[in-house]
Structure 1
Amino acid sequence: MRILRALLLAVSAIASGVIAQDSAGVPKEKHDYQSDVARLRKIVINSLYSHRDVFLRELISNANDALEKLRLTSLTDKEVLSGAEDLNVTIKAYTDEDGNGRIIIRDTGIGMTPEELTANLGTLAKSGTTEFLARAESTDTTGTGNLIGAFGLGFYSSFLVANRVYVASLAAKSAHNPEPVQYVFSSGADESSFEIYSDPRGSTLGRGTEITLVLKPDAVEYTNPHKITELVDKHSSFSSAFPIYLYTQRTEQVPIDEDRSSSEDPKAAIEDIDEDEAIIEDISDDTEEEKAPETKSVTVEEWIHMNSQPPIWMRDPKSVSEEEYKSFYQATFKDYEEPVAWHHFSGDSGSGVSFKAIIYVPSHLDDSYWQNPLTSSSRDIRLMVKRVFITSDLGEDALPKWANWVKVVVDAEDLPLNVSRETLQSTRFLKQLRSIILKHILQMLAHIAEEDSEKWEQVQKVFGNVFKLGAVEDTKNREKLVGLTRFATNQRNSTSLDEYLGNRKKGQKQIFYLADMGSKPEILAKSVFIEKLHARGYEVLLLTEPLDEIFVQNLRMHKRVPFQDVAKAGLRFGDEDVSPEEEKEEEKALTEQYKPLLDWLKEEVKEVVRDVIISNRLVTSSCAVVADMMGYTANVEKMMSASQSGPKSPMHEFAKKQRIMEINPRSPLIQGLLRRVEQLPTEEEGRDLEAEEELKEVASVLIDGALVRSGFNVPDSNEFFTIIDRVLRRSLGVSETAPTDTTVKPAPPVDSEPLNLQDPLDVEWPDYVPGSLRQPDSPFQHEEQLFWDVEEIDEEGNPVKKLHRASEHDEL
Structure 2
Amino acid sequence: VLYFPKLKNDFEFQKNKIKLFSRQVFITEEVKDIVPEFLMLLHGVIDSPDIPLNVSRSFLQADSNVKKINSYITKKVADKLAELFKNDRKAYEDKWSDIGLFVKYGAISDEKFYDKAKDFVLLTNTAKENFTLPEYKDKVEGTQTDKDGQLIYIYTNDADKQDSFIQSANKKGYDVLLMNSPIDNHFISQLEQKLEKTSLKRVDADVADKLIKKDDAPEHILTEEQTAQVKEIFDKAINKPAYRVELESLHPDELPVTVTMDEFMRRMKDMAAMGGGMGFYGNMPDNYKVIVNGNHKLITRILNNDNTDEQAQLAKQAFDLALLSQGLF
Bin of the TM-score, shorter chain as denominator length: 0.7 to 0.9
**Of residues 384, 403, 422 in structure 1, which corresponds to 2:54?**
422
How far 1:619 moved relative to its partner? Answer: 3.9
Give the counterpart of 1:701 among 308, 317, 324.
317
Matched residue SS, 1:399: coil
Range with bigger deviation, 563-572 or 597-606: 563-572
1:616/1:365 CA distance change after superposition, 3 Å: same
2:231 aligned residue: 598
Q: Does 1:379 align with 2:46?
A: no
RMSD (CA atoms): 3.7
Pick from 262, 277, 292 the counterpart of residue 663 of structure 1.
Answer: 292
CA-CA distance at 1:574 after TM superposition? 5.3
Q: Is the 8 A contact 1:625 1:661 kept in 2?
A: yes
Could you tell me whether the CA contact under 8 Å between 2:257 and 2:292 is conserved in 1?
Answer: yes
For 2:264 and 2:11, locate their aligned partners in 1 and report how far apart those are by CA, in whole Å: 31
Partner of 2:302: 673
| Equivalence for 2:201 | 564
Confirm whether residue 441 of structure 1 aligns to residue 70 of structure 2: no
Q: Is the 8 A contact 1:525 1:542 kept in 2?
A: no
User: Whose RCO is larger (CA < 8 A, sep 6+)?
Assistant: 2
Alpha-carbon deviations, 1:448-481, whole Å to 9, x = none?
Answer: 1222133213421212222222233334423434
Which residue identity lines up with residue 76 of structure 2 in the other structure?
A: H
Distance in 2 separating the partners of 1:650 and 1:401: 26
Aligned with 1:621 (options 251, 255, 263): 255
What is the DSSP-based 3-state SS (H/G/I as helix, E as strand, rest coil) of the residue aligned with 1:514?
strand
State the shift of 1:534 in Å. Answer: 1.7
The structure-2 alpha-carbon separation of the partners of 1:700 and 1:551, relative to structure 1 and needing over 3 Å to count, comes to same
Q: Which amino acid aligns with 1:605?
A: I
- Structure 1 unpaired stretches of 5+: 1-358, 681-690, 715-812
Q: Residues 649 and 361 from structure 1, CA distance in 2 versus in 1: closer, same or farther, beyond 3 angstroms?
A: closer
Match of 1:147? none
**Structure 1 residues 710, 433: CA separation in 2 closer, same or farther (over 3 Å shift)?**
same
Instruction: Name the SS of the counterpart of 1:563 in structure 2.
Output: strand
Runs (4+) of structure 1 moved beyond 6 Å?
Answer: 366-369, 641-644, 648-651
Distance, in Å, in 2 between the alignment partners of 1:693 and 1:371 is 52
The match for 1:400 is 36
Corresponding position: 1:493 with 2:129: yes
- 2:3 maps to which of 336, 361, 372: 361
Q: 1:433 deviation in Å?
A: 0.7
Q: Structure 1 residues 562 and 438 mapped into 2: Cα distance closer, same or farther (>3 Å)?
A: same
Deviation digits for residues 523-577 of structure 1 (CA, Å, limit 9, x no counterpart): 367332661x32232222132333222321354344222223343359353542x
Larger helix proportion of the pair: 2
The answer as to 2:146 corresponding to 1:512 is no
Contact 1:529–1:566 (8 Å) recurs in 2: yes
1:365 partner amino acid: K
Which of 227, 246, 254 aligns to 1:612? It is 246
Q: Structure 1 residues 572, 396: CA separation in 2 closer, same or farther (over 3 Å shift)?
A: closer
Letter in 1 for 2:55: T
Question: Are the aligned partners of 1:513 and 1:543 in contact in 2 as well (CA < 8 Å)?
Answer: no
Aligned AA for 1:537? G
Q: CA shift at 1:707, angstroms?
A: 1.6
Q: For each residue in 1:592-641, what CA deviation from the matched residue of structure 2 results, as whole angstroms up to 9, or x when unmatched?
A: 485132342234335141132215488442221112355437xx767766
Q: Distance in 2 between matches of 1:529 and 1:396?
A: 41
Q: Which residue of 2 aligns with 1:536?
A: 172
| Structure-2 change in CA distance of 1:673 and 1:485 (3 Å) | farther
1:730-749 correspondence to structure 2 within 5 Å: none
Aligned to 1:432: 68
- Specify the alignment match of 2:98 in structure 1: 462
Give the Cα–Cα distance (whole angstroms) in 1 for the partners of residues 178 and 7 of structure 2: 27
What is the CA-CA distance between 1:504 and the residue it aligns to? Answer: 2.2
CA distance in 1, matches of 2:251, 2:37: 40
How far off is 1:432 after superposition?
Answer: 0.1
Partner of 2:219: 587
Task: Say whether residues 1:550 and 2:183 are aligned partners.
Answer: no
Which one has a bigger Cα radius of gyration?
Answer: 1
Q: Which residue of 2 aligns with 1:502?
A: 138
Counterpart Cα distance in 2 of 1:611 and 1:492: 36
Alpha carbons of 1:630 and 1:441: their partners in 2 closer, same or farther (altered >3 Å)? closer
Partners of 1:434 and 1:671 in 2: CA distance: 66
Contact 2:10/2:181 (<8 A) preserved: no
Q: Is the 8 A contact 1:524 1:542 kept in 2?
A: no
Structure 1 residues 433 and 640: alpha-carbon distance in aligned structure 2, compared to 1, 3 A threshold: closer
Matching residue within 649, 652, 674 for 2:283: 652
TM-score (norm 1): 0.34
2:212 corresponds, among 573, 582, 586, to 573
1:503 partner SS: helix
